[in-house]
Structure 1
Amino acid sequence: MQAAPGVDRPVPDAPAGNWVDRRAPVFTRPYLRLARIDRPIGWWLLLLPCWWSTAAAAIAAGQGFPSLAHLALFLVGAVAMRGAGSTYNDIVDRELDAKVARTRNRPLPSGQLTVAQAAAFLVLQALVGLAVLVQFNGFAVGLGLGSLAVVAVYPFMKRITSMPQLVLGFAFAWGGLMGWAATFGRLDAPAFLIYAAAIAWTVGYDTIYALQDIDDDPIAGIKSSARLFGERAALGVGLCYAAALASLAGALALIGVGPVAWAGFLAFALHLAWQVKSIDRRDGAKALRLFKSNRDAGLLLFAGLALDAVIARAL
């Protein structure tokens, strides 16, 4: 498929009136959409386990508020690596994307960019991510590089398994390990539990996201947990969220957090319960809203952990 320079085709699942559609120079828009800059929820969901783990490590280390340098590095890294992962995913999935209403206007299937252009952009974003990663200790650098193996296989999972969301969880939850490793230069039981919690959380919210495509996916030959759970989608998401909360509670108990962290945990749990109660597998627009609301859910938990770290240091 040939590129179509100058053609501006917004994607239907981007927020209406986002700054990319309104203000970015036209020639940059396909690249920004390829990196999902018009849909920031992706990098938020990649970032939040990093911040949870960083805040939990701050409590365990008695250091007060989580390292601002680490929080900022994880923010830049999440934006860069979310963009790189999305670009790689779109290169691999360009033919499948052309068959699904929600994705056929993406830059590659719509012909706004060539594969070579997308590949060059992928390398650029990966280099930014690498520049961020090498700011951490050696153990964290090696751990971060290890995540690339999971990222590499994820796009192919929707062709061979009904639970590609689980593989996505392995990748998106990696920050649950990274924040702890960046603080201590090692991994301990709480970090593994935070990682497990983030995996289950990812499977849950991405199942909600997949409800948008439940009619088109069979046509394109795409498998998903939404299709697997079928009419019991709410039950499936609820079980995933319950597993996330159980793992997270175990991590907080091992660390010995205070009441403010537990209050953040409770707010997070109530938000997840509200999502499960609100699921309507036939309402794609509502599914997208619920999916996006996980940014707020994750920030509630982070706020509780960060404030608890400050209080614990002050006492």
Structure 2
Amino acid sequence: MSFAKNLATVCRMIKIEHSVFALPFAYMGAFLAAGGWPGLYNMVVLTVAMVAVRSFAMAFNRYADLDIDRENPRTQKRELVTGELSTRFTLVFIGGTALVFVVACGLMNSLCLKLSPVALVMAASYSFCKRFTYWCHFVLGTVLGFAPVAGWICVEPVISLPSVLLFCGVTLWVAGFDLLYASQDADFDRKRGLHSIPARLGIPAALGISTLSHAAAAAFFLLAGWAAGLGGIYFTVAALMGVTLMAEHLLVKPDDMSRVNVAFFTMNGVISVVLFVATAVDLAVGSW
């Protein structure tokens, strides 16, 4: 199998299109730190770093979960399970994306470079969390929650209040939709001895915690806008996105998981992109 074909297959394995979840929040952090356009250089190295670390995390997760994916009917067509990708190629890909991430962080500033090993360890650690804690969804949320902080320190190497509030919002936002996604595997996780809130508390309770997480996330997004001094454009859009988050929960019922992918990908992908666009427009209008 050629390298190009392997690369195309690995892009399917890591669901490269799901970069839409975290990348816009990294851009939000960069734009807020700069008070507008952060410069082409910062945007390029930030994009490379974010795509690299997310690719690293997804490939590592697929490798670490290979034994589980072989048993779960929902995941038996994944590329490592079917043999479309070899474990050797996947390990090389994991090492390569880790190296690209570290180099990209080094091209940002010294703080980003120093924090890059911590980011890699955190990105990899999620893969093992469901083996021992029911709160694995919030661990995943924390990993993606660092996206706006990363964007901020790429431009200005300090930890700021707006980036911390965005971290809280993204953490709860991701945990909320991961709870929806994990509800599909509640029965399998329970039988396999894996830990998740749907398996431990049941799907109705998981959906309730997901709703509360999203309500809190919407509040943190509004607070982040206030801390950053954003205006009416951002707050109007953020409020509408909060309503959208709540509407998401009308799509998924404890006895009907058929529309999880619509809630998981389509609606949540829209939310991250729209919040970033609202931030960029608000900053641009405010500078006129």
The question of a shared fold, defined as TM-score above 0.5 by the shorter chain, is answered with yes
Displacement after TM superposition at 1:291 (Å): 0.5
Matched, 1:35 2:14: yes
CA-CA distance at 1:198 after TM superposition: 0.8
Number of aligned pairs?
286
TM-score of the aligned structures, taking structure 1 as reference length: 0.83
Structure 1 residue aligned with 2:148:
176
Aligned to 1:276: 249
Residue 197 of structure 2 aligns with which residue? 225
Conserved in 2, the CA contact under 8 Å of 1:260 and 1:308?
Answer: yes
Determine if the alignment matches structure 1 residue 188 to structure 2 residue 167.
no
User: What aligned pairs does 1:248-259 form with structure 2 within 5 A after superposition?
Assistant: 248-259=221-232
1:71 to 43, 48, 73: 43
Q: Which residue of 1 aligns with 2:32?
A: 56
* 1:155 match: secondary structure: helix
CA contact (8 A) 1:211 1:282 kept: no
Equivalent in the alignment of 2:108: 136
Would the aligned equivalents of 1:267 and 1:300 in 2 still touch at CA under 8 Å? Answer: no
Query: SS of the residue aligned with 2:243?
Result: helix
Which moved further from structure 2: 183-192 or 288-297? 183-192
Task: Indicate whether 1:289 and 2:251 are aligned.
Answer: no
1:214 CA drift (Å): 2.5
In the TM superposition, 1:1-315 aligns within 5 A as 26-37=5-16, 40-41=17-18, 43-59=19-35, 64-227=36-199, 228=201, 230-292=203-265, 293-314=267-288
Rounded Cα–Cα distance in structure 2 between residues aligned with 1:273 and 1:106: 31
Q: CA deviation at 1:170?
A: 1.4
User: Deviation per CA, 1:127-164, whole angstroms, max 9, x where unpaired?
Assistant: 22223222212123323432222123211111111111
Distance (whole Å) between structure 2 residues aligned to residue 71 and residue 271 of structure 1:
28
**Does the CA-based 8 Å contact 1:58-1:309 persist in structure 2?**
no
C-alpha change, 1:186 and 1:271, in structure 2 (3 Å) is same
Instruction: Please state how far the C-alpha of 1:229 moved relative to its aligned partner.
Output: 5.0
> For the residues of structure 2 that align with 1:295 and 1:243, how far apart are their CA atoms?
18
**Post-superposition shift, 1:26?**
4.7
Distance 1:229 1:253, change over 3 A: farther
Change (3 A) 1:57 1:119: same
- 1:12 matched to which residue of 2? none
CA separation of 1:229 and 1:66: change in aligned 2, threshold 3 A: farther
Deviations 1:146-187 (A, max 9, x none): 222212321111111111111111111111211111222111
Looking at structure 2, the residues matched to 226 and 78 of structure 1 have their Cα atoms a distance apart, in angstroms, of: 29
What's the C-alpha RMSD, in Å, of the aligned pairs? 2.2
Q: What is the rounded CA distance, in whole Å, between the counterparts of 1:286 and 1:82 in structure 2? A: 25
- 2:193 and 2:50 map into 1 onto residues whose CA distance is 30
What SS does structure 2 have at the residue aligned with 1:154?
helix
- Separation of aligned partners in 1, 2:40 and 2:259: 35
Regions of 4+ moved over 4 Å: 24-29
**Other-structure match for 1:21:** none
Structure 1, 49-58 or 92-101: larger mean CA deviation? 49-58
Identity over the aligned pairs, expressed in percent?
A: 24
Structure 1 28/57 Cα, relative in aligned 2: closer, same or farther at 3 Å?
closer
Q: Distance in 1 between matches of 2:101 and 2:258?
A: 32
How far 1:206 moved relative to its partner? Answer: 0.9
Measure the CA separation in 2 of the matches of 1:168 and 1:265.
23
Structure 2: give runs of 5+ residues left out of the alignment: none
The answer to which structure has the higher helix fraction is 2
